[in-house]
Structures are given as structure tokens and as C-alpha cells.
Structure 1
């Protein structure tokens, strides 16, 4: 049987050292036998036997290490910094900024114009297939991703604003994640930072102020103290601002009477939020690391809704209603804690995480209706929600033949309680509880055969869901699932072309809001609620991805069974009132394609991306079957210009075509963003000025075709903005915290 030489390369602080060259030399004449490059975790594998040879390890900025090869595992090789090589060095590289690694599309940030972008938020806006801003990102055709920083999941979007772009090494986008991720995770973004430097007290202070419709402000302090293997850290954030929205909604309802409602709404909302995170990590030695953190926060929102509703019955004016109100949402507390252990016991790698979350939210609503032809109305409601979750995840890894074997388990127990009271007998009070326990086991095997890499995985999940309403267990709404999810990924390199082919089986469970059967009041003809009867969606996806020089492309096909769509149901005895809710539809098939390229012409670095999504779906509408098969397209044109004085200017444009998504029709939209960035004092202080959505065209009209209700909505919000950001960094260093978290996908459902 073939044998291999394995080991791990670390620096003097025990941190993994990636991209170190490890070669096996013949002892007699020092001739090259075989070699390898250390991975992101510092590990390497040479497809050979020792045969009395010598292992030689080299890396830029470190002293060369030579040691006798005496067995299959050479252990941990610690590299010392070479003071003779640590002077001022200018490194110029021509390697592509875009590459494929396994089933991931990798964007290199270090030594590229992206390192001047500002924060991780700004970098992600420039990464192919990623759209969004300010922590709210989506992967093209794959929805909201799980985002990791150095293997640790991002639980609060403010963490992205705290990470400087200069500290980022690369960004990986995975659009077909395998068995080691929760079966409901459709996409993953992994951010890796540069190696750590410095000890003592350090951190980042950041302030962002600007105008959307009103003034808003965000203040952040990210502080650390490092000594030896110990790191103490705290992140403090305060966010305040007033927001404005304007919308027009047309609601056409087909019942015994044909109703047409025109709703004009103006929303003004004041938001105040404070967030604090405190923790420590301790590298006992190069083999063992432990840590913990605790998060708490409080949020208060005051919303002043103003509605004007005009109703027509069979084309005749029936009523005009003016509604004003005050809604208050108080989220306190937001407890979240994590502890982890990451280490090695011989060849066995151990990664253990445990998370606990508990949150409480109270919402009060007071609405006053003035009716033209009916009695005036006053609606008062009060809702209290509690959410809690416990989760643990254990991953064991072990070298196997030409690669690695990973096995693990994940357990999540979550509960939501909602107590809702309203002064309307037609809706009534409700008390609901959702309990869910998810037990999962997974296995993943990765092997390298020359230039061909293969990773196969299998995940088993047992889900037990119980739904209780007003103290009574609802047997027909409580469910148990047992599912197996296979995955397979194959990648190779043919000349300068990189290719990756992958298949995954996934599921998507409804959010707890979608499962909540509490009925909410919209107006006297329209109500809204979730659907406790929703079943999880099953997803099968096949994907082919390729990269050549500065070009890349991706094609994927997805089959969704029991997909979620919005729908309507009659409410009440006469059927005139309609309930907006959700249901499962038998299937939706979808084809996705995305291509991109980047260039450099002097001081100008443009990037062009284009994508298309085509679905095959017919739904019920007005007693007939309606086709929703018009494709959606996207075109992005991003420009970075290096001006004199080391000033970077970005001009980014995006256009989205009209088309269908599920049983909706989306209108076209576009935006133009510009930004100026300048760093001072050897990048310790930076200033950026940005103008977003200059022409205020980023919003999209949406038309829902819900059986016997047609809902057209035009909603504009504070997308257009002028923002000034000041940032000061002192003695900054890479976060040593290695906790990856448990129950990450479950947290997102809350």
C-alpha cells in the first residue's frame, strides 16, 4: 500500500503557517525526491516514504529548517523568523486573484486593490457572486450564506465592519457545501486573515456617520490584549439612527365581491442598539487551544406607521381609512455564549464547540383607524417572544492514505415561545410554542490523486419538531424527520484551467416566524400569519465551476421539492377577509449560470460579472395554472482606480433584470456607488467617503400572484446614502479565537 509523509508547519507562536514549501531530499546527493505545500491549517502530505531522506522546509521571512525523516509523521515543525529577511520587502506576484480550490471560488485580497477596500463589508461587495451590503449579503442564486472568519462563524453582522480589509488574506465562496455543514446551509463564505503579529494592547476604533433620509451613526471599539498564548478581547458597538420608508401597495382580492385596495404607507423608525462581546482564547501550546466568549445586547425600536387605504368594491368606492400608530419593539436581553477546544492528540485532530443562546423580545402596537363609511377603530396588541438554543458540535480528523478523514456529530435543541394578545375578537389571543431537537452525524473523506482531489461526504439528521398552541400539543403539526444527505466534489487542473464538479443533497427548514401561527392585523380585509404545517424543503444541486487565468464561470442545476411560496386563504365565515400565509408547492426546478473576468490597465482595475437564473414553475392563480418562468439576470461592472497620493477610488454599477422568482414577478433595478479611500500613518488611520445608490434606483417592484389575491408593492427605503468613515488601528493583530460555533444554521432561523 502506498505511504505518505505527514506533518504540520507552525510559527514561533504555534499559529499554522500556510504555503510553506516542504520537500523530501535524498540524503546522499540532496536530490529532490518529492514535495508539497502546507495548507491553510499548516498541514502537509508528501506522497512518498522516508527511505532515510531529509525533510527541508522553507518559507519567505523564516529560517530554513532541515530534519531527518524517520517515519510517516514528522510531527510539528516550528519555523523561526529570519531577522535578515524581515526588512523592507516588496513582493510582486502575478498569480490570479480568482482561483478554484476544491469546490470553492477563492478571491485573493492580500497584495490586491481589495486590501484598500476598507472593511470586510467592503471586500465582500467586490467578491464575485456576492451581493448586498452592511452585513446583509446573499450569494447569487443561493440565498443568505453562513459567513466564517478564520473558521469561526459570524454571529453578528457588526463583526464584518470590525475586520480591516488590510488584514484579510482571501475569501472563499462555496455554493455547494458538503456534509460537514448543516443540511440547510446552501452557501458558505470563508474569510481568512493574514498571520498574526504583535503583542500587548491593541485594537481598532471606528466611527461611521452619514445621511440616508435622516442622520445615522455607528461607533465601534474592538480591543485586544495579547501576552504569549493568552488573548483577551472585547467588542463594543453602539448604533443609532432614524430611518424612513415610503411604499405603495395595490391589493386585488377575488371573492364574492371583487375588492381593490390601494395602500400608501410612510414609515419612520428610530433605532438604538448596543452590543457587547467579551472573551478570551488561550493557546496552551502548538497542539492545544481553548477559549470562550459571552455576548449581550439591547435594542429598542420606535416606529410611527402612517397608512392611507382606499377600498373599492366591484369598482365602486367603498371606504377610505387613515391609520396612524406607534409600534415599540424592545429586544433585551440577547444572551449568547460559546466555549471551544481545538487541538491535536497525536495524529487525531479535535474541534469541539458548545453554544447557548437566550433572547427575549417584546412588541407593542397601537393603531388608530379613521373610516369614511365605517366605524372608527382602535387596535391594540402586545406580543412577548422568548427564544433559546443549546448546541454542541464535535469534529474529529485523522490522516488517511492520501488525504484526511473527518467524522463528527452536531446536536441542537431550540425552543420559541410567543404570547400574543389583541383587542379584536375576530383574531383572538394566542399562545404558541415550538420545540425542535436536531441530532446529526456526518463523515467526510478527502483524497488527493495527483492533480485530482476528491471529497465525499454523508450526513444523517434526525429532527423532532413539536408545536403547541394554547397549551395543547398539535399532533398533526408536530413532525419527525430522518434524512440522509450525500455529497461529492471532484476538482482537478488541466494546464492553466481549474475545474470543479460537485453534487449535494440539502434541506431548508422554515424559519420560526414562518412556522408561527399567530395572526397579525394588516387591515380589516387582510390578515397575515405563518403556517405551522409547513414541511422542510428538499434540495438536490449539481454544479460545475471553472477558472482560466482571469476568467471564471459556474453552471448549476437545482431541484427543490416542497418549496416555500406565499399564498392566501379565506378567513372567517363569509370569505371576504383574506389571510396572507405560506405553503409548500410540489417542486421548482432552476438553472443558474454566472461568468466573470477581471483586468488591469495601468491604474485602472475593472471587473465584469454577469449571471442568469431560469426557473421552471407553475402555480395556482385565479383558478388557473400560471407560468413563472421568465429568467432573472444580473450584470456588475466594478472599477478600482489608483489615483495620485495613494488614493483609491471605486465606481461600482449593478443592473438586475425583471423576471420571476417563485410565484413573484420582480421589476428591474440598478445602482451606482462611488467611494474614495485614503490611509495615513502607515495605514494606522484611514478615511473613506462613499455615496451609495446615487440615483435611488436600487429598489424593485414586486408582484405576488397568490391564488385569489394579487399584491403589487413598490417600497423605497434608505438605500441612497452619503457616509463618512474614520478608522484608527493600533497594534492590530489577527484574532486567535478558534471557536467555530455550534448550531449556526439554527441561530439564523431566529
Structure 2
């Protein structure tokens, strides 16, 4: 009896809670925003404030003149409507027993005297330690692709291969409307004019995979009316070698159905130069010097299709497909001089490499809004990736030394996840699970061409499984916001390969907890507006190719290989940031890194005259960094400033214990709008000499400028961009591990391009389809 009574005591409050949820009623405030002439505004912001303390209730950016705020409680609200070129307007809105339609709200255009010269540099704000960059209505919306728009944001850097990374945090995971992006081809297909805002998170919570060190969240502009939109574009790049890209986007909304199609084709060439020196640090007369010239030709087809259907007010279903077909041809010539104490020799190597990459992925997703505070999401993705490579290496034109390498790899990736979010006693609570499988098979063979004798052969059979479960709690108390979460991940990697007919049977399994914590305080003083402190524990698992001990020969004296004994990297990451007046963000990072993975140059174990490039773990690294962003805007121009500094402390065998100094970074991006339709922008970037981990980088700086204009009522965009105007962006670095110092000077064609682009929008194309994939982390590891 006691147990029954206790059970009833437990069930009673649950039934009351469910009853209150079922019968709780929420309301809506909506309206239409027009100009003085009664035309709907193309783009505007609307925020709903509490009349009690002027705190923000809800807000957002809207298009086509329509706005709506749902799930509101009976209360007295104050609506603020703003738009570029119009005076702000406040409107009272009170909800008592029914939803409110405010009808037509007219904004009055700002009256300016003299000539209008107004810069449109993107503005940004800081919220809970995250940097948000607003794109719509700024020059970034004309950047080109989504990838081009991300490049324009503070704290973003781009390498010679056009890869994006967050300064001091490495490669980010990118989300579009809350859904993970699995391939960079999506970033090139989606256009910057579709983007509303971009958010950069330098220390993500336990909601994300433990291997995620930074996150970029992209929010697109939502399509609010039934329409068919089309956008076409063409870009042509001029450098040492030329290239072009063309594509289109089609987006339609009909009732509850939204369809999206994007296609991009690119074709081009680059001509790159390198000088590489490997020196014995104990015997300076013992070194190898190479002069490398590489002609790289590529063409690719990228396609994305998505279908999104709103079943009812609470249930949304989506299906999407993305495909990539990539083909490249590389001709590389290397003149190598080998100088030792008593000998001198030269090698003249030529290498022709043909690559074909294919990626096909299909994903299903479902979003269920259980009530105004609870939601449930399911994601399932299947992807297949295939790579074929044929290499022909010749030394000194001698047929006896010619090597043929054939490489064929298959990846199959299966990923599923479920996420439940709700509010319990004022605490926003998120629970999630994720499970992924990567299966990699293939064969690699190196053969002496004339003799047709294989001297290295590998048959790969790798399986990688990761299971994860996590929760995250968030609560606001007065001016404080607290977030606490933890994630558990269990991984199992199995290697059942054959190396030169010898079987490999390795298995590695591990389970770890990854907690996260965030405290945000709205200080609201004249000097400090917000204060944020966050912590997270992260893991970086080795790329699957890093673990393969197959040898890829460049010539008879040099090859690259993986390291099957490579360990995962664990990082304790701390971030402290301050939001200051006038859009100033000041951020400090500290990371304690164990088993950092680095690419180094070593001597071959069996022949000291042969060098190999492989991966090792650096035992302990302490990394300090600081960053600051500031925007200065005056009548007629604006400048976006970004500053940063890094310092590393390394404690590991094989690495000299030296003072590694401080690396300084700065970037200035001025912009001016001339006349009515012409925008001129520029960028100057400088990075000082110093160490990044074990790598010592020489100073690097460059200047980029461009001009753009809109025609035919903003339907056509013309743009010219000149990257690295003075051709100063030359990478020079060196790394020292053991007794070998590796130095490289690289001049990449991609850094010095002039790009001409034209884009035409039919029906003011503004796509909204939510691209998603739950397998982004698994694909990145490939």
C-alpha cells in the first residue's frame, strides 16, 4: 500500500504538468512592413521587447514585408522595426485573449543632405561568447558563394587549397539552419546572397561531436511566399593559369512543399612552385634541396537536391541528395640535389598523377515540434566515397627506375542521430544520441614498371565505429546564463588489412567523457557589456589514412607513410571573452593539448640516406592566444579591424626546448560605397614570424582589393576581385624534429588570382532549404 501511495504521489505532479501543457495556449503577433509608397520592404529587422524591462523576447530578420512571432503568452509588448535607409519605428502590441494582427506598418525613409556615400561593411555582435556576422544588406552578400562569404568573416583564414579554418582552432564543422554540412561542395553551390547571418563558435558545447574544435553556423533567408526563383552565375579567374566556374540555383515553394536544386561546374589549372630543403642539423653540409614545379588541372561537377515538406504545423520531413564528381591531372617535375660530406648527385624526377573522386550521399531528416517548448529530431545519412589514383614516377629518364602506383579506395559511411529538446522547470534541456560506422576497403600497389614487379602492396580493410550520448542544460538567472553538459563517446577501430601479404589484425577501443561548461554575464557597464567564460574537453582522432603504413614513393630517396601507432589528441580548452562597446570583442584562449598530431620528416629505419614524411604525437603542448575585433564606421567609409597573438610551449621528446616567441596577426578591411551602386573594398593582412606548434613560419602579408556594382534593380551583380595585388603572399616555413630540419618556400597560383564574376537573379532568388547531414565528422576524417 505504501508503494502504491508513493507511486500516486509521483504520478500526480506529472499528470498535472501534462495537463497544463495540453491546455496551455499561445498566441501570435504578425503584420506587414511597407515604405511610404506602400511597397513591401525587401528586407528588415523586427524585435519584440518586454514593456516591463525592455528585455528582448523574440527577434529576427524578415523579407517580402511580412513578419510573424509565434508561441507568445498574454502580455504587453513593444515592437521595434528597423531597416537600412529608414527611421526606426516602435509599435505597442498587447495580447489579452487573441492573436494580434498589426496590419500595415509604414517606415519613413531617412532624409540625407548632399551626396549619399554610405559604407555597407558587415556588422557583428557577440552573444554568449559567439561572434555573429550579419550578411544580408551588407557587402558580404555579394561575395559569391557561401564559402566566399565565410572567408570575409573575422577570425577566418584560408589556405592554398581553399580550405577554411578558424584562427587558432583549426577546421570548423559548418551547420546550415541547424543541419550539418558534409561536403565543401555544398558551400560552393549555395550563394552568399541567400545568407542572413553567420555565427562563429570557438568553444562549442557537448551538443557537438567531441572531435569538433570550432563551429560555424549559417542561417539562410527564409522564403515566406509561394514562388519559383532562379539564379545563374559565372566566374572567371586569371593567374599563371586560368579557370572558371558556372552554376545555377533553383528554389520553389508551393504550399507545404519546398524544393531546392543547386549545380556547380568548375574547370581550371594552377601552376605552383616550391623549394624544399632537408638538412642534418648536426652536419650542415649534409642536405637535400628540391625545386618543385607542379601543373594542377581539375574539373568537377557538384550537385545538391533537397525536398522539404511541412506535414502539419508541428512535423517537418526532408530528404536530400548531394553528389560530387572530381577529376584531376597533376604533372610534377622535381630537380633534387643531394649533397653529403664527400659526394654530390642530382635526381630529375617527373610525376604524373591522375585522380578521380566520387561522392554520393543521401539523407533523411524529421523535425517534430511536440509543443511550444519541446522538439524531437531524427537524422539518418548514407554516403559512399570512391577514389582512384594512378601515379607514374620516373627518375633521370631511366626506364629501370620508373614506378607505377595504383590506388583504389572505397568508403561507406552510415550515420544516425536523435535529439530531444525541452524545458524543465525553466531549464532548457537537450538529450541526444549518435551512432556512426565507417568502412574503408581498397588496394594500393607500387610496381617497377619495366620489370612489372610489385615491391609494395596493401589490401585495406578498416572499420571505425563511434557511439555517443550527451545532455546539455541551460538556465538564465537574472543577468547570468549557465550552460552545463557532458558527452560520452565510445569508439572502436578495427584493422584487418594485408601489407605485402602479411596480415594485420589490430583493434583499438576506448570510451571517454567530454564535459563542457559556459557562464555568461550581461555586465552592461560603460566599459564591459558582456563577460563569457567557457570550458570543453575535446578529442581529435587520427585521419584514417594517417594510420596506414603503406609507403607512397616520390623517388628512390623519399616517401610518405602513415603511423599505425598514432594516438588520439586530447585537448582541455578554456575561453574567456569580453564584449565591449562599439562592437569590440576581446577573447583569450588557453589549451592544454596531449598527443598533438604533427607531420614531420624522419630518416628511414633501414637506410639513413632515405627520408620519410610521417605523423607523430607531440606529447604535451600549452597554447595561449588572444584575439580582438573592432569596426570603425564614419560617414562614407568603414574599416573592420582584427588582431591576434599566439604563443606555444612544447614539452616532448624529439622537439627542442626553446623559447618559441609570440606570433602576431592583424587584418584591416576598409570599404566605401561610391555613388549609388558601386562598392570598393580591400583587405590588408599581416602575420609575423614565429612558431605554430613545432613549425616556424616566416612573415607573410598581402593586399587584396575589389569593386562591385548592381544593375537592373539589383538583379545583376558584376564584380572584380584582385587577390594579392603585389604578389607578396609567399609561404615560408621550417620544422625541426629529431636531427632533420625541413624547410619549404611555396608560391601558390591560387593566392594571386584576378576573378571576374557575373550573377543574375530571376524573381529576387532567396532559397531557404535546410541542407543537413549527421555524418560531417566521419567524412572529415577521410
TM-score (structure 2 length as normaliser): 0.85
2:680 aligned with 1:649? yes
Q: Provide the secondary structure at the position in 1 that maps to 2:634.
A: coil
Distance in 2 (CA, whole Å) between partners of 1:234 and 1:81 is: 36
Question: What count of residue pairs does the alignment treat as equivalent?
Answer: 720
Distance in 1 (CA, whole Å) between partners of 2:681 and 2:651 is: 42
2:105 aligned with 1:85? yes
Greater displacement, 95-104 / 305-314: 95-104
Sort the Cα spacing of 1:155 and 1:122 in 2 relative to 1 into closer, same or farther, 3 A.
Answer: same
Deviations 1:218-253 (A, max 9, x none): 011111122012112211111101111111111225
Aligned to 1:565: 598
Aligned to 1:463: 491
Q: Provide the secondary structure at the position in 1 that maps to 2:319.
A: strand
Distance in 2 (CA, whole Å) between partners of 1:176 and 1:8 is: 36
Distance in 2 (CA, whole Å) between partners of 1:241 and 1:127 is: 26
Distance in 1 (CA, whole Å) between partners of 2:605 and 2:648 is: 35
Deviations 1:575-627 (A, max 9, x none): 33232211112110000001121111211101111100100014555xx8342
Distance in 2 (CA, whole Å) between partners of 1:89 and 1:337 is: 47
Greater displacement, 494-503 / 533-542: 494-503
Deviations 1:686-729 (A, max 9, x none): 01001001122223112121213221111111110111010111
Of 215, 219, 242 in structure 1, the residue corresponding to residue 246 of structure 2 is 219
Sort the Cα spacing of 1:6 and 1:161 in 2 relative to 1 into closer, same or farther, 3 A.
Answer: farther
Q: Provide the secondary structure at the position in 2 that maps to 1:701.
A: strand
Query: Which residues in structure 2 correspond to 1:225-624 (within 5 Å)?
Result: 225-253=252-280, 259-314=286-341, 316-317=343-344, 319-332=345-358, 334-346=359-371, 347-370=373-396, 377-423=401-447, 428-470=456-498, 474-475=504-505, 477-496=506-525, 497-550=529-582, 551-571=584-604, 573-621=606-654
Sort the Cα spacing of 1:79 and 1:658 in 2 relative to 1 into closer, same or farther, 3 A.
Answer: farther
Distance in 2 (CA, whole Å) between partners of 1:413 and 1:111 is: 42
Sort the Cα spacing of 1:232 and 1:571 in 2 relative to 1 into closer, same or farther, 3 A.
Answer: same
Deviations 1:407-461 (A, max 9, x none): 0101110122231111157951112222110000010111111221111111000
Distance in 2 (CA, whole Å) between partners of 1:300 and 1:645 is: 43
Q: Is the CA contact 1:100–1:499 (under 8 Å) kept in the aligned structure 2?
A: no
Distance in 1 (CA, whole Å) between partners of 2:101 and 2:737 is: 66
Distance in 2 (CA, whole Å) between partners of 1:507 and 1:520 is: 28
Q: CA deviation at 1:393?
A: 1.5
Q: Is the CA contact 1:198–1:731 (under 8 Å) kept in the aligned structure 2?
A: no
Q: Provide the secondary structure at the position in 2 that maps to 1:513.
A: helix
Deviations 1:271-302 (A, max 9, x none): 11111222211122331211111122211111
Q: CA deviation at 1:505?
A: 0.6
Query: What is the RMSD of the two structures over their aligned residues, measured on CA atoms?
Result: 3.4
Q: CA deviation at 1:326?
A: 1.7
Greater displacement, 353-362 / 575-584: 575-584
Aligned to 2:690: 659
Q: Is the CA contact 1:18–1:40 (under 8 Å) kept in the aligned structure 2?
A: yes
Q: Is the CA contact 1:119–1:160 (under 8 Å) kept in the aligned structure 2?
A: yes
Q: Is the CA contact 2:260–2:769 (under 8 Å) kept in the aligned structure 1?
A: no
Deviations 1:331-363 (A, max 9, x none): 13x111111111212342012111111011110
Sort the Cα spacing of 1:141 and 1:737 in 2 relative to 1 into closer, same or farther, 3 A.
Answer: same
Q: Is the CA contact 1:568–1:580 (under 8 Å) kept in the aligned structure 2?
A: yes
Query: Which residues in structure 2 correspond to 1:31-42 (within 5 Å)?
Result: 36-38=56-58
Q: Provide the secondary structure at the position in 2 that maps to 1:747.
A: helix
Q: CA deviation at 1:115?
A: 4.2
TM-score (structure 1 length as normaliser): 0.88
Distance in 1 (CA, whole Å) between partners of 2:611 and 2:143 is: 48
Of 146, 159, 167 in structure 2, the residue corresponding to residue 120 of structure 1 is 146
Q: CA deviation at 1:55?
A: 6.2
Q: CA deviation at 1:7?
A: 5.7
Q: Provide the secondary structure at the position in 1 that maps to 2:268.
A: strand
Aligned to 1:28: none
Aligned to 1:715: 746
Q: Provide the secondary structure at the position in 1 that maps to 2:542.
A: coil
Aligned to 2:41: none
Q: Provide the secondary structure at the position in 1 that maps to 2:553.
A: strand
Q: Is the CA contact 1:308–1:322 (under 8 Å) kept in the aligned structure 2?
A: yes
Q: Is the CA contact 1:6–1:44 (under 8 Å) kept in the aligned structure 2?
A: no
Distance in 2 (CA, whole Å) between partners of 1:648 and 1:618 is: 50
Sort the Cα spacing of 1:329 and 1:66 in 2 relative to 1 into closer, same or farther, 3 A.
Answer: same
Q: CA deviation at 1:673?
A: 0.4
Greater displacement, 498-507 / 34-43: 34-43
Q: Is the CA contact 2:407–2:445 (under 8 Å) kept in the aligned structure 1?
A: yes
Query: Which residues in structure 2 correspond to 1:136-151 (within 5 Å)?
Result: 136-151=163-178
Sort the Cα spacing of 1:631 and 1:640 in 2 relative to 1 into closer, same or farther, 3 A.
Answer: same
Sort the Cα spacing of 1:345 and 1:217 in 2 relative to 1 into closer, same or farther, 3 A.
Answer: same
Q: Is the CA contact 2:185–2:324 (under 8 Å) kept in the aligned structure 1?
A: no
Distance in 2 (CA, whole Å) between partners of 1:498 and 1:735 is: 34
Q: CA deviation at 1:187?
A: 0.6
Q: CA deviation at 1:570?
A: 4.2
Q: CA deviation at 1:60?
A: 4.2
Q: CA deviation at 1:628?
A: 6.1
Q: Is the CA contact 2:30–2:69 (under 8 Å) kept in the aligned structure 1?
A: no
Q: Is the CA contact 1:353–1:742 (under 8 Å) kept in the aligned structure 2?
A: yes
Greater displacement, 439-448 / 571-580: 571-580
Sort the Cα spacing of 1:482 and 1:152 in 2 relative to 1 into closer, same or farther, 3 A.
Answer: same
Q: CA deviation at 1:197?
A: 3.9
Q: CA deviation at 1:325?
A: 3.0
Distance in 2 (CA, whole Å) between partners of 1:650 and 1:547 is: 26
Distance in 1 (CA, whole Å) between partners of 2:677 and 2:630 is: 25
Q: Provide the secondary structure at the position in 1 that maps to 2:311.
A: strand
Aligned to 1:634: 665
Distance in 1 (CA, whole Å) between partners of 2:197 and 2:695 is: 36
Distance in 2 (CA, whole Å) between partners of 1:337 and 1:484 is: 31
Q: CA deviation at 1:749?
A: 1.4
Distance in 2 (CA, whole Å) between partners of 1:80 and 1:565 is: 60
Of 171, 182, 186 in structure 1, the residue corresponding to residue 209 of structure 2 is 182
Distance in 2 (CA, whole Å) between partners of 1:731 and 1:63 is: 31
Q: Is the CA contact 1:18–1:38 (under 8 Å) kept in the aligned structure 2?
A: no
Q: Is the CA contact 1:566–1:706 (under 8 Å) kept in the aligned structure 2?
A: no
Distance in 1 (CA, whole Å) between partners of 2:779 and 2:433 is: 17
Greater displacement, 499-508 / 463-472: 463-472
Unaligned runs of 5+ in 2: 1-12, 33-43, 62-67, 83-89, 113-117
Q: Is the CA contact 1:106–1:171 (under 8 Å) kept in the aligned structure 2?
A: yes
Distance in 1 (CA, whole Å) between partners of 2:621 and 2:763 is: 52
Q: CA deviation at 1:671?
A: 1.0
Q: CA deviation at 1:186?
A: 0.6
Q: Is the CA contact 1:614–1:631 (under 8 Å) kept in the aligned structure 2?
A: yes
